[in-house]
Structure 1
């Protein structure tokens, strides 16, 4: 459901929470910060799974900003 701590480190290249948050923001990856101050990334945001919203299905996919036009 969410990326593990190890996957988050691999994605961002950072181990420090504040640096991970900065990296996620600069990459444009949607995330939220939990009560422990750790960034939490939904696996669906990275894998591009379809999300159901009401009666419509929206395709969610992530691209780094350097690729997105």
Structure 2
């Protein structure tokens, strides 16, 4: 589902988190940064599959305050 640390190194050619993020940005690959600052890349992103949700995101409804 996700690239391993070694896969990410092979893809970017970089070991440090900041340099990996720079390389991914240059490659225009979608990724997330996890809680410890490491970039996370899905295998689907490399295969060109779009994993975006098909449903609209939830939006808080407006509250009518009786004006």
Shorter-chain TM-score bucket reads 0.7 to 0.9
Tell me the TM-score normalized by structure 2.
Answer: 0.72
Pairing of 1:50-65 with structure 2 (within 5 A): 51=51, 53-54=53-54
Size of the aligned set, in residue pairs, is 55
Tell me the TM-score normalized by structure 1.
Answer: 0.70
Larger-gyration structure (1/2): 2
Please list every run of at least 4 consecutive aligned residues from structure 1 whose deviation after the TM superposition is greater than 4 angstroms: 50-53
Residue 49 of structure 1, CA deviation: 3.6
RMSD: 1.7
Pairing of 1:1-69 with structure 2 (within 5 A): 1-49=1-49, 51=51, 53-54=53-54
Q: Quick one: distance in 2 between partners of 1:31 and 1:52?
A: 12
More strand per residue: 1 or 2?
Answer: 1
**Runs of 5+ consecutive residues of structure 1 not aligned to the other structure:** 56-69
